[in-house]
Amino acid sequence: MKRFFKPIEKDGSAKKPTLSTNQEDNEKKEASESEETNNNGNTMKKEPLKFITWNANSLLLRVKNNWPGFSKFVSDIDPDVIVIQEVRMPAAGSKGAPKNSGEIKDDTNSSREEKKILMRALSSSPFGNYNVWWSLADSKYAGTALLVKKCFQPVKVSFALDQTASKHEPDGRVILAEFKTFRLLNTYAPNNGWKEEEKSFQRRRKWDKRMLEVVVQLSDKPLIWCGDLNVSHEEIDVSHPEFFSAAKVNGYVPPNKEDCGQPGFTLSERKRFGAILKEGKLIDAYRFLHKERDMERGFSWSGNPIGKYRGKRMRIDFFIVSEKLKDRIIQCEMHGHGIELEGFYGSDHCPVSLELSPASPDSNES
């Protein structure tokens, strides 16, 4: 399926699919709308201003079961950029061979069919108006995607927290898009887990340490950091603080009391997240606008409607922006609500949106 959005990592571009007449017309219209004329009469490209982040909890399952609803949502919001976490599509490459994390696996009958289903959905309206980049795990696990309207071409797209690395982050957890006036960082943070183990607390501590270093390194240009960050910063960011603080599995109690509780709501994670925001001079766009707890629409993740997690909700999907951008925040909203997960489109996470006002010509953001 090479005709579909094949990413080219060297220059961060992506191949365009063959367009229908209607798609060509839409693309020309969007290109016109994305341009402005300066005082000298020269045409300049505007930067993206509207963004959506969503943990899809398997993009293929959403395409099969929830696509009409999500497609309408995207059409209504009309974002310039969409970032997705938990794509859960395996990277290209046969068993035992090196994997290409920027391509979807298609070397077996089943994988070819799954890729065909997914790419057909992404070539239909409104998604056909976007270029797509992937960062995928070796198996149906984790993974991220970046969709950018074709009229907004990133200067560069990379796939690791280490800016000197050419490879993708393990499990496809990172896509970093650099535009002329800002950077967009899409991350799927590893879950903290429940125990003092290498793939649990230790893995998350290492991730948070790297994130702190990265946001400081990227501070030369305004940053929009978004995605499933797998942390709720304050008590106001969860529906039931006492429940989450006391949560445990099989009676296990961590040696350090600051590691006790629900993954994403332990005191140690919350402290580290606060340090990242402080050192990176970043602010939480949603909390900047919404100061009070909203029990109906104030959370992005919701527990299973059946069982002890029914009605237990957390805000772990974010738009974190540089302080220099705070006066440009028009809105930041969570689009799911209620215990029955309305507006979640089959996932356990709902989409979150951010809209910025255009930068003033004389702004000094960078």
Is 349 part of the annotated catalytic residue set?
yes
Cα 265 off chain centre by: 20
Which of the 8 DSSP states describes residue 171? Answer: G
The active-site residue, picked from 106, 138, 171, 228, is: 228
Outline where DSSP puts E strands in 136-289: 144-149, 156-158, 174-178, 183-188, 223-228, 282-284
Is 237 part of the annotated catalytic residue set?
no
The active-site residue, picked from 233, 335, 337, 349, is: 349
Confirm whether residue 317 is marked as ligand binding.
no
Contact 38, 362 (CB under 8 A): no
Token pair belonging to 14: 């992506």
Confirm whether residue 230 is marked as ligand binding.
yes
Is 345 part of the annotated catalytic residue set?
no
**b/e burial code for range 331-358 (CB count within 10 A of at least 16 → b):** ebbbbbbeeebeebbbbbbbbbbbbbee
Confirm whether residue 348 is marked as ligand binding.
yes
Tell me whether the omega of the peptide bond preceding residue 126 falls within 30 degrees of 0, making it cis.
yes
Helix 201-217 / helix 267-280 crossing angle, nearest 10 deg: 10
Confirm whether residue 42 is marked as ligand binding.
no
Residues 315/321/326/331 CA torsion (nearest 10 deg): -50
- Sign, CA dihedral 304-309-310-313, equals negative
The active-site residue, picked from 188, 233, 337, 345, is: 188
Confirm whether residue 228 is marked as ligand binding.
yes
Which of the 8 DSSP states describes residue 197? Answer: S
Task: Please identify every residue annotated as catalytic.
Answer: 188, 228, 349
* Binding site members: 55, 86, 228, 230, 348-349
Which residues are annotated as part of the binding site for Mg(2+)? 55, 86, 228, 230, 348-349
